Amino acid sequence: RLSIFLIFVLITKVNMVGVRVLGIAGPKKAAKAAPSSGKSARYYPADDIARPKHSRAKKHNAPKVRASFAPGTVCILLSGRFRGKRVVCLKALESGLLLVSGPYKINGVPLRRVNQAYVIGTSTKIDVSKVDVSKIDDAYFARVASDSAEGEAEFFANDEAKPAVVSDQRKADQKKVDAAILKSVNATPLMKNYLGSKFSLKKHDRPHKMVF
């Protein structure tokens, strides 16, 4: 009887070791522990294993820019904090966004990127051939990570929003671009008043019949 009991204990330990090897928690370890033969797996992971989706395109091309957004075109912003303002389109960036400026001195719109889906291109144009924006690209507008990390107490505190800090380089570039645009604006009669006015719709206006 003692020998039969020892054999039973030994078989139980062997089975428990096998259960521990094949019954490991976690989808990745369970997939590795599954037998590699042609038979169906004995154990399956509890969660689905995330696999990256295959993409045939090595580089995704930027969206096409409409022909109405040529450099120098006066555009109307339809969304954002500057909606209704008229701006000057300077160029299309690699990401498909439009680089525009108010100029800032006329209507307060700084150099910024806008989505062409929320912009109306008008038939009014000014000469921006002397405006140098070759150094301004998508990386120019990248956000700088703040050094001071907020804790839990600062996150839930009802303090006022911190004002945005504009770098000296950004201010210098804004003045340089606006100075070149203002020369063309001042050379065209009533163009300064046109850019300073805000676009809006009244009660009986029909936008689908308007010619911008």
Quick one: pLDDT at residue 20? Answer: 45
pLDDT in tens, 108-154: 999 999 999 999 999 999 999 898 888 988 888 887 766 566 666 76
User: Stretch 63-88: mean pLDDT, rounded?
Assistant: 90
Phi, psi of 5 (to 5 degrees): -65, -40
pLDDT in tens, 166-210: 788 888 999 999 999 999 999 988 999 999 999 888 888 888 888
Geometric angle at alpha carbon 168, from 78 and 116, rounded to 5°:
20
pLDDT in tens, 154-178: 666 766 666 777 788 888 999 999 9
Quick one: pLDDT at residue 63? Answer: 79
Burial of 124 (0-12, 13-18, 19+ CB in 10 A): middle
Model confidence at 28, pLDDT cuts 50, 70, 90, reads: low
Residue 33: pLDDT over 70: no
Q: Residue holding tokens 């957004």?
A: 69
Q: Return the structure tokens found at 12.
A: 């139980």
Quick one: pLDDT at residue 87? Answer: 94
